[in-house]
Amino acid sequence: MAERQPSMYEDDTNDYSDPLERKLTTMERKLQEWEHQQQLRAAHEELQQTIGSLQAKYQFDQATAREIVATALEQNRGPRDFETIYKAIAYDRQIAAQQQYQQGRAQEDQRRTQAKAEASQVVGTGGAAASAGAPPPQPTKFNSYSEAIAASYDQVASRNGGV
């Protein structure tokens, strides 16, 4: 059976009978922990500094900053690549916005074309459209005012059904 290796965080003081050796091991473990914490702090500071300078340059929000960091982690890339990652994200967003605009514009053009077609059908079937190609009626000449008045009464009566 394989022997289990103690973690650097476990208390391994039982393995040493010499108190000096035990103290040395404890100090080494604490030093490793401290070095690890320093590396984490330095990485965090570099991350904050890089993101901060990019935010100042490109004016993006925290959600975009998180997206940049997540993408870098997925691709095993470091802070030096953040600007390239941001530019790729911004480009993808621009392309998506352009496609959305073009789709909206195509839908609007289609809606307008359909509205024009419907409007031309309504205008094309109206009474005025039927006589649009015919020459205008010639005025009737009357010899007196009384003939003109009598003709207009007859015309109104014929339109109203002989009333």
Quickly state the pLDDT bin for 154 (edges 50, 70, 90).
Answer: confident
Q: What is the pTM of this model?
A: 0.52
Cα distance between residue 2 and residue 9, in whole Å: 20
pLDDT in tens, 11-39: 554 566 788 899 999 999 999 999 999 99
pLDDT in tens, 78-123: 999 999 999 999 999 999 999 999 999 999 999 999 988 888 777 6
Are 140 and 151 in contact, with CB atoms under 8 Å apart?
Answer: yes
**Domain ranges, ordered by start, for the chain:** 15-122
- Cα 77 to chain center, whole Å? 26
Residue 58: C-alpha distances to residues 51, 52, 54, 86, 88 (Å)? 10, 10, 6, 9, 13
